[in-house]
Structure formats: structure tokens, C-alpha cells
Amino acid sequence: MKTKRIITLTLTIVIFGLICVYSSSHIWALYKYDDSFYYIKRQAIFACIGVIAMFVTSRIDYHLYKKYYKQIIGVCFLLLILVLIPGLGVVRGGSRSWFNFGIFALQPSELFKIGMIIFAAVFIEKNYYQMKKLRYSLKLLMVMGLGFLLIMLQPDFGSGIVMACSIVVMIIVSPFPFIYFVFLGALGVVGIVLMILSAPYRMERILSFLDPFQDPLGSGFQAIQALYAIGPGGLLGVGFDKSIQKHFYLPEPQTDFIFAIVAEEFGFLGGVLLIGAYLWLFKTILQVSKNVKDLFGSLLMIGIVSMIGIQTLINLGVVVGLFPVTGVTLPLMSYGGTSLTITLMSIGILINISKSVNCVL
């Protein structure tokens, strides 16, 4: 029952996402590529690939990831290193985060998030009772820190934060003492402050977050235009495909700020229903994780749902002005082939684990 609910909710959000990608992108696509269907065609192709990947991974025994976890994390680290090499990695939006394969591009940080979650699930299961002592957790923290550093060298702050927060959630459900979180949290805050101070554009984002109208045509432009989209939406929205902000006011609205167009066209009610669908999906996955017959499977579910949930929270927070702009997509909704495919593939892993629960129940 819960497995079918996970599949149904996932496909519902993906289909709604395709509708919103078309609505938000066709004006910009016609102007830039002389093809109003440019973005939706590509997104539909990746949605099909992602759904196929989801059903493939749903049939792969999740214990195989435990068997080959070293090889998986090793390949993920190798890709993070290779993408930093000029000529191999492609710069997009100021970040060298992509491999270009012609008709599609691959973002290694998306794969690394899954690889790191698998590594953390294996490590915590093997050292569950030793997690009470900090020294037994150092290996996991060092691997996570190295991955975060490589992602930041691209730089891709949003993906790094999502990955790190997902692993922290997995550690929280272990016997890891709370006092250590206070200490590590303090170190993390210091590190984030230093990273912000080291890059002028990050400081600009923080300042524009605090007061976007200080630079309304520069660093604060996107945040302001997103709010201008949300405001007129009212309770029921202005109507499908009747957004004003997508007419070259909100830059590339089909990506990180797609929720602003959802709120403008479908209103407060539409936004609440979409958020409700995400919450129902996350709640269902967490309910299943409590009944998984082995610790590795349970931790894997918690890590993946944390990754998707945290990314969703950050994206929505950015759009409504609660967080600084980070460049994080809305899972299953935003335009982006790698993000959509990897997210669907990871949900396939969840489906495979939930099948084992159904057998037990």
C-alpha cells in the first residue's frame, strides 16, 4: 500500500512539474531558441529516463549497495575530482560542476550525494554502538568533509549543504551524543562564515537576502521578482499560463524559482497542495523506514528522504525569501536532467526497500 503511495505521489509531482516547466519556460525558450517547446521536450525526455531508472533501481536488491559501497563512493570522488579539470568539467552559471556529453550533461555532485548516503548508512550500521564516541565517527566526518570541500571547489554551495545536512540527519538517529553536535555545529558556522567572507559573490547574496531592495537590479533582482510573482497569485492564482513574471522579469523561471510561477498561476491554494504532496511523500517514506528489517535499509531511507526533503525546504525557503539564493533546484519539479533523473533513481531505491517491508508486514 505504502509502496504504491510513494510511486503515485512521485509521478503526480513529476507530471505537475512537467506542466509547470512548460508554462514557465515557453516564453523564454521561444526567445532564446526559437522553439517554445525546447525546455519541456528535454525535461520530458529526462522524466522518461528517470522513471525508467526508478523502476530499474526499484528491482535491484538494496543490499548490493552495501556490498559495493567502497567502489560507489570511490567512483563518486573520482568524478568530483575530474570535473574540476578544465577541458573535462564545463562551467555553467559560474560553477565548474558539469560534464558535457552533447545532448545531455552530468552533474557529479548529484551522484555524490547518493554515494555519500550509502557510505554513511554502511558506516553507521557497522559502528552503531561505537558512535557514542567521537573518535569512531571521525572517519565518516572526514569523508563527508572531503566531499564537501571538493563540491565547494566547483563551487556549488547548495549541493554541499544539502549533502552535509543529509548526513547529519543520519548521524542524529545514531547514538552520537548531542554535545558533539554543538561542538561540530560551532565549527560548521565558523567554516561557513569564512567561506562567505572568502567569496565576494556569497557576501553579496547574504546582503541581498537581508535587504534585496538595496540592489534591486543586481544581486537582489531574482528575490524581488520572485516575490512579485507570488504576491499577485492570491488565493487561487491568475490562471494557468497567465503568469506575468515569466515574461523576462524572473530570469529562467523554469529552474530554481519554478515555485514562484506555481504560486502566481495556481495561487496560495496551489502552493499548499504541492507542499502537501511533498509532505505526504516524506511522511510515507519515514513511516516505512521505521519498519525496515535491517538498520542499513532504514538508514538508507532516512538519508535519501532527508536529502530530498532538505533540498525542497531550501528551495522553497529561497523563493519566499527565508533563505539566501543558493542555486538549489526543487526536486522532481525544476528543469534539470541530472537532478530529476538522480532523484527518481534514488526514489527507486526507496521503493525497493519498502517492498521488503511489505513482505515482512
Q: What is the pLDDT of residues 253-283, one digit of tens each?
A: 898 899 999 999 999 999 999 999 999 999 9
- State percent of the chain over pLDDT 70: 93
pLDDT at 221: 81
pLDDT at 183: 77
pLDDT in tens, 219-241: 678 888 888 889 888 889 999 99
Q: How confident is the model at residue 9 (pLDDT cuts 50, 70, 90)?
A: very high
Mean pLDDT, the chain, rounded, equals 88
Spatial separation of the C-alpha atoms in residues 193 and 197, rounded to whole Å: 6
Asked whether residue 120 carries a pLDDT value surpassing 60, the answer given is yes
Average pLDDT over residues 173-184: 78
Spatial separation of the C-alpha atoms in residues 83 and 90, rounded to whole Å: 8
pLDDT in tens, 74-85: 999 999 999 998
Q: How confident is the model at residue 360 (pLDDT cuts 50, 70, 90)?
A: very low
pLDDT at 21: 95
pTM: 0.91
pLDDT at 233: 87
pLDDT at 89: 82
Mark 352-361 as b/e (b = at least 16 C-beta within 10 Å): bbbebbeeee
Per the model's pLDDT, the better-predicted residue between 102 and 305 turns out to be 305
Asked whether residue 358 carries a pLDDT value surpassing 70, the answer given is no
- State percent of the chain over pLDDT 90: 52
Burial class (CB in 10 A: 0-12, 13-18, 19+), 73: buried
Name the range with the highest mean pLDDT among 179-193, 196-210, 315-329: 315-329
| CA 258 to chain CA mean position, Å | 14
Burial class (CB in 10 A: 0-12, 13-18, 19+), 286: middle
Spatial separation of the C-alpha atoms in residues 11 and 55, rounded to whole Å: 12
